[in-house]
């Protein structure tokens, strides 16, 4: 696998040209899909779920030895983001199916959709290593150094401006509590 220019150590602002080159390596026949996805990752309401998250996850997937399908699914996993799970993930999977129909056979699109949908609960089936890597990439922020992790929480909070602080705390504690009670997190 070719080494990329983005660092996996934290959530940094990546270069759009580097990201588009990575997409083009995955699906050379679909450069406009890559541009359209990148535009979504740049939507103004995204503080955490931005190109930083995209690039960080791609770097983690690279470290984990992920294949093309995992990388393609990663590009789509938060393509629709309105802070409305699991609707966001379901719509992202539908977008993948719609946008990739001219380029990818149906059976492969179905598998790519499964990889997107695993980000709802981060609970892959036993033996599904690709889904486990996608889950690990999505949760890798939990393993960042303290300062980077705190910045990511601030970015997540910024995406929910309508919530009162006590509502945000309840949601955050509930989400992290759920993760802590899983039988296997990574």
pLDDT greater at residue 139 or residue 178: 139
- pLDDT value for 11: 56
Q: Looking at residues 14-37, what average pLDDT do you find?
A: 96
pLDDT, one tens digit per residue, over 148-177 is 999 999 999 999 999 999 999 999 998 888
Q: CB neighbours (10 Å) of residue 8?
A: 19
- pLDDT value for 2: 45
Entry field: residues in the chain: 186
- pLDDT value for 6: 43
DSSP states of 112-169 as a string? HHHHHHTTTTT-PPTT-HHHHHHHHHHHGGGGS-HHHHHHHHHHHHHT-TTS-HHHHH
pLDDT, one tens digit per residue, over 75-95 is 999 999 999 999 999 999 999
pTM over cut 0.85: yes
- pLDDT value for 4: 47
Sign of CA dihedral 36, 28, 111, 62: negative
pLDDT, one tens digit per residue, over 106-126 is 999 999 999 999 999 998 999
- Which among 89, 115, 13, 112 has a CA at the least distance from the CA of 56? 13
- Is the pLDDT at 10 greater than 70? The verdict is no
Q: Looking at residues 44-50, what average pLDDT do you find?
A: 96
- pLDDT value for 179: 80
């Amino acid at each position: 696998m070719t080494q990329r220019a983005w660092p996996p150590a934290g959530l940094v602002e990546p270069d759009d040209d580097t990201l588009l080159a990575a997409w083009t390596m995955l699906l050379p026949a679909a450069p406009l899909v890559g541009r359209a996805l990148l535009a979504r990752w740049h939507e103004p309401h995204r503080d955490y779920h931005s190109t930083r998250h995209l690039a960080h996850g791609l770097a983690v997937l690279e470290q984990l030895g992920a294949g093309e399908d995992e990388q393609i699914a990663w590009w789509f996993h938060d393509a629709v983001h309105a802070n409305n799970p699991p609707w966001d993930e379901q719509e992202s999977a539908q977008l993948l199916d719609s946008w990739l129909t001219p380029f990818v056979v149906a059976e492969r699109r179905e598998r790519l959709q499964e990889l997107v949908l695993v980000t709802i609960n981060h609970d892959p089936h036993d033996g599904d290593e690709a889904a486990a890597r996608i889950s690990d990439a999505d949760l890798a922020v939990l393993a960042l150094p303290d300062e980077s992790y705190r910045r990511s929480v601030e970015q997540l909070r910024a995406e929910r401006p309508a919530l009162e602080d006590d509502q945000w705390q309840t949601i955050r504690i509930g989400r992290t509590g759920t993760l802590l009670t899983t039988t296997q997190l990574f």
